[in-house]
Amino acid sequence: MTTPLLQVSGLKKHFASHVAGGATVKAVDDVSFAIDEGQTLGLVGESGCGKSTTGRSVLRLIEPSAGQLRFMGQDLGGMAAGPLRAMRRHMQMVFQDPYASLNPRMTVGEVLEEPLVVHRLHDRATRRRKVAEALDMVGLNPSYAARHPHEFSGGQRQRVGIARAIITRPKLVVADEAVSALDVSIQAQILNLLKQLQQDLGLTYLFVSHDLAVIRHVSDQIGVMYLGRMVELGPRDAIYAAPRHPYTQALLSAIPREHPDAPRQRIILQGSIPNPAAPPGGCHFHPRCPSCMQTCKTVAPAAVEVSPGHTVACHLYR
């Protein structure tokens, strides 16, 4: 059995919320998953479910409150600042808003060269060559290195954001709503580019998105989050063919089927996502769940394996 590239166990990120009078918000509450090298885990859920915080905590861009992070066989969670900085060349991020994540005063060449300078990789001439190579890999003309980010379209800027993420040849890329700000036709191009780069460079992705159609397109495994907890985790095909958690069933019922003749009844959830600072007791989903039982209101369900590698946190599967 191979060791996963990334292993996350019991990850927690708790914040003191100013808007909720200092109440603790459990943005990420005991989340566990693993990703094998070259694979993609898609994390999905509504806004505020903790998926982006999970992505950032995994890279320690924000400090987790608890949990273990193992990356490339090392204890990432316990790593001191110096070794962590060195480790960052192996784990990069692609952000939602490419414009906000690029310094508008820098040329694209400078933007791309910066991570190589920070990690003291290569001499100047080689760095320039690497910049041209990275632009070419993301489908941009290497001569664009002299331009500024504002001269590009949204899709082109996201290509620059991706070039910056891959230029240090990382092992892991966390993509946080990487195509959400783009038109649908451009989204498809960027998703195809990410898949091509995964093949060419052996990348491993943690792909965070609220969009189930996007997640289906890119993922090998899917994790469904609700109010900080992982409610279902498993192989993509198993989850799309037969979602087990009532929340996953509702989410999937809202997207078009791949085969239009396949029936699936739309499940309309009652209410909206509750305040994360004061989540409902027991199963957080219980006020909206069509299958809610008495025990659901007081006892948080533990994750149960329903088939190999497919876990569900729901009392229906005890």
Give the interface with ligand SF4 as residue ranges (CB under 6 A): 245-246, 283, 285-286, 289, 291-293, 296, 301, 314-316
Closer to ligand SF4 by CB, 206 or 289: give it. 289
**What is the CA angle 151-149-106, rounded to 5?**
125
Closest CA to 232 of 313, 315, 318, 316: 313
**Considering the complex, what minimum distance in angstroms separates the CB of residue 78 from ligand SF4?**
34
Closer to ligand SF4 by CB, 103 or 298: give it. 298
Q: How far apart are the C-alpha atoms of 167 and 113, rounded to whole Å? A: 8
**Considering the complex, what minimum distance in angstroms separates the CB of residue 10 from ligand SF4?**
20
Q: How far apart are the C-alpha atoms of 183 and 117, rounded to whole Å? A: 33
**Considering the complex, what minimum distance in angstroms separates the CB of residue 248 from ligand SF4?**
9
Closer to ligand SF4 by CB, 197 or 224: give it. 224
**Considering the complex, what minimum distance in angstroms separates the CB of residue 304 from ligand SF4?**
11
**Considering the complex, what minimum distance in angstroms separates the CB of residue 299 from ligand SF4?**
8
**Considering the complex, what minimum distance in angstroms separates the CB of residue 275 from ligand SF4?**
18
Closer to ligand SF4 by CB, 291 or 307: give it. 291
- What residue type is assigned to position 138 of the chain? V
Closer to ligand SF4 by CB, 38 or 280: give it. 280
**Considering the complex, what minimum distance in angstroms separates the CB of residue 228 from ligand SF4?**
14
Closer to ligand SF4 by CB, 72 or 267: give it. 267
In the sheet that holds 24-35, the strands lie side by side as: 24-35, 6-16, 66-71, 74-75
Closer to ligand SF4 by CB, 66 or 302: give it. 302
Q: How far apart are the C-alpha atoms of 102 and 222, rounded to whole Å? A: 29
Q: How far apart are the C-alpha atoms of 211 and 233, rounded to whole Å? A: 16
Q: How far apart are the C-alpha atoms of 107 and 315, rounded to whole Å? A: 54
Closer to ligand SF4 by CB, 212 or 269: give it. 269
**Considering the complex, what minimum distance in angstroms separates the CB of residue 289 from ligand SF4?**
3
